[in-house]
Structure 1
Amino acid sequence: MEILHLTCSWVVHWSNSILNAGKWVVLLKVFEGFSRLDVFLWTSMVRYEQNGLPEEEVAFFHQMVMLENVNPDCVTLVSLVSACAQLCSVKLDRKPNCNSPGAACLDPRFIGGDGIVFYFHGKSNEHYSLVSDLNLQINSRFIGLRPAGRTRDYTWIQALGFLFDSQTFSLEATRAATWDDKIDHLKFTYNGKELVVPEGHLSSWKSPESSLRVERTSSKNSVLVSLPEVAEISVNVVPVTKEDDRIHNYQIPSNDCFAHLEVQFRFYGLSSKVEGVLGRTYQPDFQNPAKPGVAMPVVGGEDKYRTLSLLSADCTSCIFSPAGVLDQENSLLVDYGSLDCTGSASSGNGIVCRK
């Protein structure tokens, strides 16, 4: 998979550089200049792409280039670029999109299932339920600070806790005085025991019951958490940058960069009763108090969604049951990752989503 990643990265970067310069003809001439073309072998590779198997095409490409005097033609070039584009967009770039539904980034800025942007501040060193459903509980731990003269904390999501069936899982951003992207700042636990996911792009770990999979989407600080048929969560660890500190006047101290999580959730078949700071925005009849057009719409609910710990489901509005089995008749038949959303989320205003 590492070779596949390198191949796609090189092909896409190389071809895009030429195409962005308006030199498609140059790209074709590179392949037309080869002394010998083996149409049969390279056509086989094209068929992989045409049949929706881009991963197999890239693997076949590696086999072909190892053969002496076997060179691709223009058609296979286009096919390979197409396959790599599919892989890079679907498999290789799975970091959170902070401007799409299901996102929880910054201090914390959410985009609900309804496409509306809102802020939920909470308090530093406390825990809140982001999602509470019949078969799933996702909590967060906030870190933050309160400069002199302020009436509330600046907060960020530092950790996530998951409860599903009778299992628990947590991930957190570890504290760092200064940010170093060469160091992994992620820590994991499974059923109360520390879990090690080897560093390296696409390295992964799967629970014995196969109910949880954790895959690194870069060598360090980024993972994709998968609960089959329940949810996918993209996570990235980032610091509070000096620029953000300057713009917002956070007054970040010199001994803590406040490493925190950028998160994007994708859910499959949430129930209509789903609760939580983010979860309630997926209710079919939810009326979001964060009105479109407001620069920084802040919503409340701290008392409703506060939990005693990262791995508890004791908030007053929580509905998770340790033995919870999803009532299919009460499930939303919507794939929340397939909404088409338009509008400028970066402005802090609401965006409109449609199927």
Structure 2
Amino acid sequence: MVFLGSKRVLILLVVLVSAAVLVQSMQPPNRNQPLKPSDANQPLNPPNSKQPLNAPNGKQPLNPLDGNQPLNPPHGNQPLNPPNAKQPPNPPNAKQPPNPPNPPNANHPPDVKVCSGKKSPKPNCKGPGSACLDPRFIGGDGVVFYFHGKKNEYFNLVSDPNLQINSRFIGVRPEGRTRDNTWIQALGLLFDSNSFSLEASKASVWDDEIDHLKFTYNGEELVIPEYHLSAWESPEYDIIVKRTSSKNSVLVTLPEVAEISVNVVPVTKEDDRIHNYQIPSDDCFAHLEVQFRFYDLSSNVEGVLGRTYQPDFKNPAKPGVAMPVVGGEDKYRTTSLFSADCTACVFTQPGKLDQTDSRLMDYGMLDCTDLISKPNKKSLSIT
């Protein structure tokens, strides 16, 4: 009897101990207890886990050895992201910051000057080196003068050992006048062994939508497409012609020698009325407005305009006169647009100018001409 009672007590104790063990195993582990050293190298995540163990505030994952230290990833600086981790979506109302505006001249190097306000260079009839109207010149010395010449004749404007620029005058003589009213209708250039001409074609009625410019190079007619900035250059690259408007305006460049800006314009009815030109009804006398810029002219340069670039030139134009006229028709007359046979002409042979007898003529011509840089040259400017 006693034996049976002891056996029941033993069974009851076993049941109680088993229940206590089962309850203990179901309780969560105490996080305040440090891990055993034997378990320190074991990963905290189960074998099939894809998510890292992140800290409660979403910062760095915790180091199992120290709950306050972040868990450094294997490669030091890279976060320990799972292979298939996805980026969190942007909030529904999130706005992208606007792109900052491009700074001025962002497409140009900082040392390049950019034309402002004008799309193309045009003659400045109030600047040095210009020849406009009937014809009114402003010399390299800044002095205004008129040179009338004669209609249907040729006169030299610039003559230097490596450059000859002639002009053809057109005009009309009103009744009771002793001289012609004249305008420059064409230019002829000689340089090296080449020739180039540009002229304003005759027009009975002026139309801005019609191009009135004609060109030749070494006797052959040139056709330059009628759109803005279309250009032609010679095979030797010693002359470039670029349209500065789709019609009636060009810039002619002889590298390191000269630039010539040209417009074709008519004599308007208003000009005819004011000056009493007595222009015939079937001819609006299309003519050239031109402005020159020269480089490396010799000190002996000649021509109606060229002589005003001589270092010691004394301009014969009378100061204070409303219309100072200078002569020299006989001195500067040539027999054709491509002749260098005037009595004062100094154009002699093809070739480069001797640098020991030259100077840079860098007078302000156009707002955009300072885009051209001439290294190792000194500039002589008159303002």
User: TM-score by structure 2 length?
Assistant: 0.69
Q: State the Cα deviation string for residues 100-124 of structure 1 (Å, max 9, x = none).
A: 0000000000000000000000000
Does 1:354 pair with 2:370?
no
Equivalent residue of 1:143, what SS? strand
Does 1:51 pair with 2:110?
yes
Query: Which amino acid in the other structure matches residue 230 of structure 1?
Result: V
Q: Name the residue aligned to 1:348.
A: none
Q: Name the residue aligned to 1:218.
A: 245
Query: Which amino acid in the other structure matches residue 277 of structure 1?
Result: V
Q: How does 1:123-272 map to 2 (within 5 A)?
A: 123-272=150-299
Q: CA–CA distance in 1 between the matches of 2:243 and 2:177?
A: 38
Does 1:37 pair with 2:98?
yes
- Does structure 1 conserve the Cα–Cα contact (< 8 Å) formed by 2:267 and 2:286? yes
Query: Which amino acid in the other structure matches residue 121 of structure 2?
Result: R
Does 1:104 pair with 2:131?
yes
Alignment equivalent of 1:300, drawn from 308, 327, 332? 327
Instruction: Check 1:37–1:291 CA distance in 2 against 1; reply closer, same or farther (3 A cut).
Output: farther
Structure 2 unaligned regions, length at least 5: 1-94, 368-380
Does 1:318 pair with 2:379?
no
Cα RMSD, aligned residues only: 2.1
Structure 1 unaligned regions, length at least 5: 1-33, 55-82, 341-352
Aligned sequence identity (%) = 72
Specify the structure having the higher radius of gyration (Cα).
2
Q: Name the residue aligned to 2:373.
A: none
TM-superposed CA distance for 1:336, in Å, is: 2.5
Q: CA–CA distance in 2 between the matches of 1:326 and 1:50?
A: 34
- Does structure 2 conserve the Cα–Cα contact (< 8 Å) formed by 1:172 and 1:187? yes
Query: Which amino acid in the other structure matches residue 161 of structure 1?
Result: G
- Does structure 2 conserve the Cα–Cα contact (< 8 Å) formed by 1:183 and 1:220? yes
- Does structure 1 conserve the Cα–Cα contact (< 8 Å) formed by 2:127 and 2:365? no
Query: Which amino acid in the other structure matches residue 125 of structure 1?
Result: N
Instruction: Check 1:111–1:46 CA distance in 2 against 1; reply closer, same or farther (3 A cut).
Output: closer
- Does structure 1 conserve the Cα–Cα contact (< 8 Å) formed by 2:164 and 2:347? yes
Alignment equivalent of 2:310, drawn from 260, 275, 283? 283
- Does structure 2 conserve the Cα–Cα contact (< 8 Å) formed by 1:267 and 1:337? no
Alignment equivalent of 2:357, drawn from 304, 321, 330? 330
Q: CA–CA distance in 1 between the matches of 2:366 and 2:185?
A: 28
Q: Say which is worse superposed, 255-264 or 324-333, in terms of deviation.
A: 324-333
- Does structure 2 conserve the Cα–Cα contact (< 8 Å) formed by 1:269 and 1:335? no
TM-superposed CA distance for 1:147, in Å, is: 1.4
Query: Which amino acid in the other structure matches residue 149 of structure 2?
Result: G
Instruction: Check 1:155–1:44 CA distance in 2 against 1; reply closer, same or farther (3 A cut).
Output: closer
* Structure (1/2) with the larger helix percentage: 1
Q: State the Cα deviation string for residues 190-237 of structure 1 (Å, max 9, x = none).
A: 000111111010000000000000000000000000000000000000
Query: Which amino acid in the other structure matches residue 254 of structure 1?
Result: S
Q: CA–CA distance in 2 between the matches of 1:46 and 1:284?
A: 39
Q: Name the residue aligned to 2:9.
A: none
Query: Which amino acid in the other structure matches residue 110 of structure 2?
Result: N
TM-superposed CA distance for 1:330, in Å, is: 0.9
Q: CA–CA distance in 1 between the matches of 2:124 and 2:103?
A: 36
Q: CA–CA distance in 2 between the matches of 1:339 and 1:118?
A: 21
- Does structure 1 conserve the Cα–Cα contact (< 8 Å) formed by 2:298 and 2:358? yes
Instruction: Check 1:199–1:339 CA distance in 2 against 1; reply closer, same or farther (3 A cut).
Output: closer
TM-superposed CA distance for 1:292, in Å, is: 2.3
Q: CA–CA distance in 2 between the matches of 1:153 and 1:334?
A: 32
Instruction: Check 1:167–1:218 CA distance in 2 against 1; reply closer, same or farther (3 A cut).
Output: same
Instruction: Check 1:46–1:308 CA distance in 2 against 1; reply closer, same or farther (3 A cut).
Output: closer
Which runs of at least 4 in structure 1 moved beyond 2 Å after TM superposition?
A: 42-50, 86-89, 336-340
Q: State the Cα deviation string for residues 63-122 of structure 1 (Å, max 9, x = none).
A: xxxxxxxxxxxxxxxxxxxx6xx3444xx2311000000000000000000000000000
Equivalent residue of 2:274, what SS? helix
User: TM-score by structure 1 length?
Assistant: 0.74
